[in-house]
């Protein structure tokens, strides 16, 4: 067996989802100094060996009852994101393409990629998707849990597929060079995206329904659909999406999802999307981002090849990013 620590440091580690931005806007938490709460900040991202991290714009939290119009909230979070490099001493950079992510790794910096979780900030106007692209957004998730102008989320009763606007979002995202993310999207919408997409799509933070029957997880047909399109399913550390008994969530149970998805669709279609700072509760062994090397150690222990580990930790997501994002 090979030693996991050097492998982890050598691989390009690319996490597809965290919720730091909304929290930083709402409670003013800093980024450049180590916090003793939350799941991540710059010192802990560096310690955890993360080379690229997607930061979601998220405007619908019940934790923030005074939220204003989603477009305004989104703009505040975009600006908060662009301010992150200022106090980082060159250790954090904004990335808008695969080459910038690779350059950041060479320089020992963390690359931040802006994403949008739910199309609420677009207010039904496709030109705002173009604007957010100009502002650096390179991945768009159609919904959170409820209905919006684009589609229905997983908690919407009698969920339908994409609206005409939702179809426009998918087409325009591919035209601009933005990833389309199906996490949180209800099943009819996932089917529509897979039918409509001109290239690979991702699920940025979602596990396997077969192991944990939660509506946020993907069933076998959906996993296969994403793989057929060349996309990536990024496993997530949210306890309730790992096991129906969330108090028993652990790294080992998360690795069960990796094993299952690998058997079903192959290791070329697996990534990681922690959802750090986006959930309550604890997944034992993955308490915060500094524990990420334990995930690599777990993959080594379960017999994955170095190539497979490299792909799962970030290689697959970077491949899709390079294919789609301009
Ligand atoms: Zn989410």
Residue 4 included in any domain:
no
* pLDDT tens digits, one per residue of 128-186: 999 999 999 999 999 999 999 999 999 999 999 999 999 999 999 999 999 999 999 99
Distance 238 CA to ligand 1 centre (A): 9
Mean pLDDT across the chain, nearest whole number? 96
Residue 81 included in any domain:
yes
* pLDDT tens digits, one per residue of 5-14: 999 999 999 9
Distance 169 CA to ligand 1 centre (A): 19
- Lowest-confidence region among 35-44, 55-64, 241-250, 253-262: 55-64
Distance 6 CA to ligand 1 centre (A): 31
Distance 2 CA to ligand 1 centre (A): 34
Distance 153 CA to ligand 1 centre (A): 11
- Lowest-confidence region among 42-51, 57-66, 82-91: 57-66
Q: Which residues contact 196 (CB under 8 A, 6 or more apart)?
A: 162, 167, 170, 171
| Residue 156 in tokens | 């919407």
Distance 90 CA to ligand 1 centre (A): 29
Residue 7 included in any domain:
no
Distance 275 CA to ligand 1 centre (A): 7
Distance 144 CA to ligand 1 centre (A): 7
What are φ and ψ of residue 78, in 5° steps?
A: -60, -45
Provide mean pLDDT across the span 251-279: 98
Distance 218 CA to ligand 1 centre (A): 14
Residue 102 included in any domain:
yes
Q: What is the pLDDT of residue 66?
A: 55
* pLDDT tens digits, one per residue of 278-292: 999 999 999 999 999
Cβ(56)–Cβ(18) below 8 Å? yes
Distance 200 CA to ligand 1 centre (A): 20
pLDDT at 115 over 70: yes
32: confidence class by pLDDT, cuts 50, 70, 90:
very high
Residue 220, domain extent: 12-324
Q: Which of 43, 52, 53, 54 is nearest to 103 (CA)?
A: 52
Distance 1 CA to ligand 1 centre (A): 35
Q: Give Cα 122 to chain centroid, integer Å.
A: 20
User: Rounded to an integer, what distance in angstroms lies between the CA atom of residue 101 and that of residue 176?
Assistant: 19
Following DSSP, what letter does each residue of 218-285 receive, concatenated? B-HHHHHHHHHTT-EEEE---HHHH-SSGGG-BHHHHHHHHHHHHHHH-GGGEEE---BTS--S--BT
Q: How many domains does the chain have?
A: 1
Element (H, E) at 14: strand 14-15
Q: What share of the chain is helix, strand, coil (3-state, %, to 5)?
A: 45, 15, 40
Distance 17 CA to ligand 1 centre (A): 8
User: Rounded to an integer, what distance in angstroms lies between the CA atom of residue 76 and that of residue 74?
Assistant: 5
Q: Which residue's entry shows tokens 């440091």? A: 9
Residue 134 included in any domain:
yes
Q: What does the H/E/C string look like for 116-144?
A: EECCHHHCCCHHHHHHHHHCCEEEEECCC
Q: What is the pLDDT of residue 127?
A: 98
Q: What is the pLDDT of residue 3?
A: 81
| pTM over cut 0.95 | yes
Helices (H) and strands (E) in the chain, counts: 14, 9
Distance 19 CA to ligand 1 centre (A): 8
Residue 3 included in any domain:
no
Distance 24 CA to ligand 1 centre (A): 16
Distance 23 CA to ligand 1 centre (A): 13
User: Rounded to an integer, what distance in angstroms lies between the CA atom of residue 320 and that of residue 314?
Assistant: 10
pLDDT at 2 over 80: no
pLDDT at 65 over 60: no
Q: What is the CATH number of the domain that holds 48?
A: 3.20.20.140
Element (H, E) at 204: none
Q: What is the pLDDT of residue 60?
A: 85
Distance 39 CA to ligand 1 centre (A): 15
pLDDT at 87 over 90: no
Residue 133 included in any domain:
yes
Residue 38 included in any domain:
yes
Distance 47 CA to ligand 1 centre (A): 24
Distance 18 CA to ligand 1 centre (A): 8
Q: What is the pLDDT of residue 45?
A: 98
- Lowest-confidence region among 15-19, 37-41, 67-71, 208-212: 67-71
How many other CB atoms sit within 10 Å of the CB of residue 137? 26
63: confidence class by pLDDT, cuts 50, 70, 90:
low
pLDDT at 68 over 80: no
Q: What is the pLDDT of residue 126?
A: 98
62: confidence class by pLDDT, cuts 50, 70, 90:
low
């Amino acid at each position: 067996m090979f030693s996991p620590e050097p492998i982890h440091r050598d691989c390009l580690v690319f996490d597809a989802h965290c919720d730091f931005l909304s929290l930083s806007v709402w409670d003013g938490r800093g980024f450049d100094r180590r916090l003793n709460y939350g799941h991540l900040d710059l010192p802990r991202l560096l310690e955890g060996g993360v080379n690229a991290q997607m930061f979601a714009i998220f405007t619908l939290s019940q934790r923030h009852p005074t939220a204003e119009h989603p477009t305004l909230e989104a703009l505040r979070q975009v600006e908060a994101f662009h301010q992150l490099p200022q106090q980082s001493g060159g250790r954090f950079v904004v990335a808008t393409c695969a080459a910038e992510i690779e350059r950041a790794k060479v320089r020992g910096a963390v690359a931040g990629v802006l994403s949008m979780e739910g199309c609420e900030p677009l207010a039904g106007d496709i030109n705002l998707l173009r604007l957010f692209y100009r502002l650096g957004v390179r991945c768009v998730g159609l919904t959170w849990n409820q209905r919006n102008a684009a589609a229905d989320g997983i908690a919407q009763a009698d969920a339908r597929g994409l609206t005409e606007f939702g179809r426009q979002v998918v087409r325009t995202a591919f035209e601009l060079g933005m990833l389309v993310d199906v996490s949180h999207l209800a099943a009819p919408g996932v089917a529509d995206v897979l039918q409509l997409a001109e290239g690979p799509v991702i699920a940025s933070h979602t596990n396997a329904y077969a192991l944990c029957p939660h509506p946020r997880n993907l069933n076998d047909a959906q996993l296969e659909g994403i793989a057929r399109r060349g996309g990536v399913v990024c496993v997530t550390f949210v306890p309730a999406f790992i096991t129906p008994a969330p108090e028993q969530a652990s790294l080992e149970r998360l690795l069960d999802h990796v094993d299952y998805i690998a058997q079903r669709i192959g290791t070329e279609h697996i990534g990681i999307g922690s959802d750090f700072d986006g959930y309550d509760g604890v997944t034992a062994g993955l308490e915060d981002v500094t524990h990420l090397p334990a995930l690599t150690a777990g993959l080594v222990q379960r017999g994955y090849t170095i190539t497979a580990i490299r792909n799962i930790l970030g290689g697959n997501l970077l491949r899709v990013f390079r294919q789609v994002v301009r």
